[in-house]
Structure 1
Amino acid sequence: MNAIAKKLALAVGMLAIATGCATTSDKSAETQPLVNAAEVSNTQTVSQIKIDGSSTVYPITEAIANQFQQTKPQYRGQVKVDFSGTSGGFKKFCAKQTDISNASRPILQAEIETCNKNGVKFIELPIAYDALTITVHKDNSWAKDITVAELQKIWQPEAEGKITRWNQIRDAWPDQPINLYGAGKDSGTFDYFTEAIVGKSRASRNDYIASEDDLALVRGVAKDPNSLGYFGYAYYLDNKNQIKALAVNNGKGEVLPSRDTVEDSKYQPLSRPLFIYVNAEAVERNPALKELIDYYIKYAQFTATSVGYVPLPSESYEIAKARFKKAKTGTLFAGKEQIDLTISDLLKAAEGK
């Protein structure tokens, strides 16, 4: 069993404990009563819930979905979670092929227009924070930190076929090939990283090993002594015995990714919010989907921590809960990339401040 699978199993087990410890007296007006199997079969057809999108968000959603189905056996086998990257997920979501889209960036204007054209109204729910992590092979003895300017020099389109050795980045580094591993073009990580580092979304060199699967990138970096790659923080934590994280210097000193440096807004510009997008019409049509999202919001803070991401403040989940209850559709982010967005900024945006 790989590290992510083990962590998912652990998260599900811990979530089961947390669910079991919840008091049965918690009957807020915002929580709908459970739909039992007889009610479902006699009154409404429960459709399978289809989820796709970001591989970064996948561990959170997969853990939630597994425990939801264990807790509510009337919905067992009804939730299917896949990943094809944030952009790939939005293509399916806006084509009405999925009910929930996992996303490692906010929805973009072109995607909003496609959703509008197809009559897809969505509810946007922030669920955690990530720290995009720059990694090298564990036996790399020369690189301990890297600047934003050096990352730009490596990844900008002009570097293709030209910046190919470590000593071209920093004179003190060896005259050895540098082999790059990064997000594929259907990944929200690709969109975010290129905007944050290169300065323009989707502007990147093409001569690198690309994948929408973060775990595939981890394996590549772990096997290649000359590697340099980037992917979500949880995948680094799960594999830090095989790979090494570089501290990132944005001009204010070298900072390693961690929960503390994300919460303190020090790990910039590579900290970013994570989201799920929910088809509002599907919620009205499918009682299981409504219950799943209620469950997701209730346990997202716990589960995000369990799988290695940074949870949002409790207040953020209360805002998300109210937003979902009111079926408040649309995005808070004007269809644009959001770079250097801190947890505090996200909270203010959600509150409409």
Structure 2
Amino acid sequence: MANEPITGRADAVSRRHVLLGAAGTALSGLAGCLARGEDSGLDGEIRMDGSNTVLPHGAVVSEEFQWRNNRVVIPVRGSGTGAGFQRFCAGETHVQNASRPILEDERDLCGQHGIEYLELETALDGLAVIANPDNDWCESLTVEELAAIWESGSDVETWSDVRPDDPDFPDEEIELYGRDPASGTFDYFTEEITGEIGNIRSDYSASADTNVIVRGVRGSEYALGFGGAGYYYENEDELKLLGVDDGDGVVKPKRETIESGEYQPLTRPLYTYFRTDAFEREEVRAFARFYFEAIDGEATDAEIVEPGEELTWTQWAARRVGYYAIPDEQVRASAEKLEDAIAEERE
């Protein structure tokens, strides 16, 4: 699988477990040919790359679309947000998944290659602060405490350094685990917690794979780490979820607090970028619009669709793989933005 992209009906895989786990590995792609499905008359190839974090969401949306348009092939790869933008801005891909907004140097690269693009918010993620389940002294941390722990030049070495006046915090060294600097998750966490992208201490265990972070925290009583909340919920029997206090009270990441925006500052939007010149192709227009179309009768999962809800495919797919749905107002805004871009490109 690592070298040969494969796709199939989304129901053929456990989207939340298999795809979410795959997103944290050095995965080269999920793509290929559907064995069955519906022939809509559309055909062509749409190449998607980018964030490992957003890969599961993009893979599920593309699989559902391909099921209904089985002559359209959508290879979905997870080179990482930064590496994906390098390919996208060079015109090698049509769709870019990103766990952060495009950076200035990436915008410049797109400009150098004459690549114009459309940025769409398509899902939400919550970053979780996790500890070992044997940790019985800490239930939550403030944003200021997290900054003191993680910032560059930090003098926090032990748990007692975090709260010197709390006798329950042990004089034991904190073992830190987090994402590596090539990750959009790293960029978001450092900017929101320490105030600047890349502002982080050098003596933590960095990994491109959140599953490695999970194993590290699980293996040490005094460990602390951060990663996507979905990874916590895949391993909640073996980890402890800490609340975060941004000054308005302690909140933990879960569907209600993330989708409402209550969990701050570690709720983040996830993005899908389309090359606007690709909108000249009917299959690309149809695929982009599919994100914001209402789900059909095949997507009735009780865990995903709550009573009375009317979800779109992008909202449904986000929940299906362990992420969170963008608000309805954002769906409408993104759909309108898309239609404006399509109309402009086709003038």
| Same fold flag (TM > 0.5) | yes
What is the Cα deviation at residue 133 of structure 1?
0.9
Partner of residue 335, structure 2: 321
Q: CA deviation at 1:153?
A: 0.9
How high is the TM-score relative to the length of structure 2? Answer: 0.76
Structure 1 segments of 4+ aligned residues over 6 angstroms from their partners: none
User: Matched residue of 2:115: which SS?
Assistant: coil
Aligned mates of 1:124, 1:241 — CA distance in 2 = 37
How much has 1:108 moved relative to structure 2? 2.1
Deviation at 1:150, TM superposition (A): 1.1
- State the shift of 1:304 in Å: 1.3
CA distance in 2, matches of 1:269, 1:8: 23
Q: Which has the higher contact order (CA 8 A, sep 6+)?
A: 1
Q: Is the 8 A contact 2:100 2:188 kept in 1?
A: yes
Distance in 2, matches of 1:96 and 1:7, equals 26
Cross-structure match for 1:154: 149
Distance verdict in 2 for CA 1:225–1:97, change over 3 Å: farther
CA contact 1:55–1:213 (8 Å) conserved in 2: no
Distance between the aligned counterparts of 1:163 and 1:3, measured in 2?
39
Assess if the C-alpha contact under 8 Å between 1:84 and 1:212 holds in 2.
no
Question: Are 1:201 and 2:213 counterparts?
Answer: no
Instruction: Choose from 221, 224, 243 the match for 2:220.
Output: 224
Residues 1:256 and 2:270 aligned together: no
Deviates more, 1:49-58 or 1:112-121: 49-58
Q: 2:48–2:94: 8 Å Cα contact kept in structure 1? A: yes
Q: In the alignment, residue 35 of structure 1 is paired with which amino acid?
A: G
Residue from 42, 45, 48 that aligns with 1:51: 48
| Counterparts of 1:328 and 1:191, CA distance in 2 | 31
Q: What is the alpha-carbon distance in structure 2 between the residues aligned to residue 138 and residue 127 of structure 1?
A: 33
Task: Confirm or deny that 1:170 pairs with 2:176.
Answer: no
Change (3 A) 1:109 1:164: same
> 1:102-157: CA deviations, max 9, x gaps?
11222222221111111111111111222111111222222211111111111111
Seen in structure 2, the aligned counterparts of structure 1 residues 147 and 137 have a Cα distance that, compared at 3 Å, is: same
**TM-score normalised by the chain length of structure 1:** 0.75
What is the deviation of 1:2?
8.7
1:65–1:8 Cα change, 3 Å = farther
Structure 2, unaligned runs of 5 or more: 1-12, 22-36, 294-312
Check 1:97–1:329 CA distance in 2 against 1; reply closer, same or farther (3 A cut). Answer: farther
Say if 1:71 and 1:138 are closer, same or farther in 2 by CA, change over 3 A: farther
CA distance in 1, matches of 2:143, 2:77: 32
SS in 2 for 1:133: strand
User: How far apart are residue 85 of structure 1 and its match?
Assistant: 2.9
Q: Does 1:292 align with 2:304?
A: no
User: Percent identity at matched positions?
Assistant: 37
RMSD: 2.7
State the AA in 1 paired with 2:322: G
- Distance in 1 of aligned mates of 2:280 and 2:265: 38
Map of 1:65 onto structure 2? 62
Instruction: Say if 2:134 is the partner of 1:120.
Output: no
Q: What number of residue pairs does the alignment pair up?
A: 294
| CA deviation string 1:282-323 (max 9, x = no partner) | 3324x4333322222320011112223221222322332232
Q: Is the 8 A contact 2:41 2:69 kept in 1?
A: no
Distance 1:4 1:228, change over 3 A: farther
What is the match of residue 5 of structure 1?
17
Structure 2 residue 41 is matched with structure 1 residue 35 = yes
CA gap of 1:72–1:329, structure 2 versus 1, over 3 A, is: closer
Q: Which residue of 1 aligns with 2:326?
A: 312
Q: Give yes or no for the alignment of 1:100 onto 2:95.
A: yes
Shift of the 106–123 alpha-carbon distance from structure 1 to 2, 3 Å rule, reads same
Secondary structure at the residue paired with 1:73? coil
CA distance in 2, matches of 1:279, 1:92: 12
Aligned partners of 1:155, 1:250: CA distance in 2, in Å?
16
The residue that corresponds to 2:30 in the other structure is none
Instruction: Report deviation, 1:235.
Output: 1.9
Q: Report the AA paired with residue 150 of structure 1.
A: E
Alpha-carbon distance, 1:6 to partner = 4.5
Provide, for residues 319-342 of structure 1, a one-character-per-residue CA deviation record: whole Å limited to 9, x for no partner.
Answer: 322322232699xxxxxxxxxxxx
Q: Shift in Å at residue 247 of structure 1?
A: 0.4
